[in-house]
Amino acid sequence: MFLDSQLQFAADQNLTATGNSTNTIDLGSDRDIGKGEPMGIVVCLSDADTTTGDETYTVGVQTDDNSAFSSAATLASAAIPSSELKAGGKLVIPLGHNNERYLRLALTLAGTTPSITYSAFLQPLSMIDGYENYQSGFIIS
């Protein structure tokens, strides 16, 4: 699968507290990107701290008409299931139709020692079904 850097929210971004994705996606104008092929956001984990067992990680998809996100609206939100909190874990969030010009991710971290390293990107849902996220350094022989 090919990844377009213009559709990437984060590449191995590390967070130890609630924060936003490194990158925003500029759609060029307010538009309904849901017409045609349905789109989704893929969040791939490289690492997540679950040391004390009370750590939680929630990913929200935000949109706004300005790049400062001064009046951001949340389109969708999903908690990363505990079964996916490992290297190679994956979360897919389908994207709806009511977006504005800019998109970003807002991650909410909670618990005693939350820490997460992740990559995220926008893709057509049909390309996500068979996508497997392998941990960094995975070698195929």
By the 8 A CB rule, do 27 and 33 touch?
yes
Distance between CA atoms of 67 and 8, rounded to whole angstroms?
Answer: 16
Q: Write down the domain spans for the chain.
A: 17-128
* Tokens (6 digits) for 13: 């971004």
pLDDT at 140: 61
What's phi and psi for 55, nearest 5 deg? Answer: -75, 135
The predicted model scores a pTM of: 0.86
pLDDT at 36: 75
pLDDT at 111: 95
pLDDT at 126: 85
pLDDT along the chain (141 residues), means of 10: 83 97 88 72 94 95 96 95 91 87 96 96 83 58 60
pLDDT at 137: 61
Picking from 38, 31, 81, the residue whose alpha carbon sits closest to that of residue 59 is 81
Reply yes or no on domain 17-128 having CATH 3.40.50.10140: no
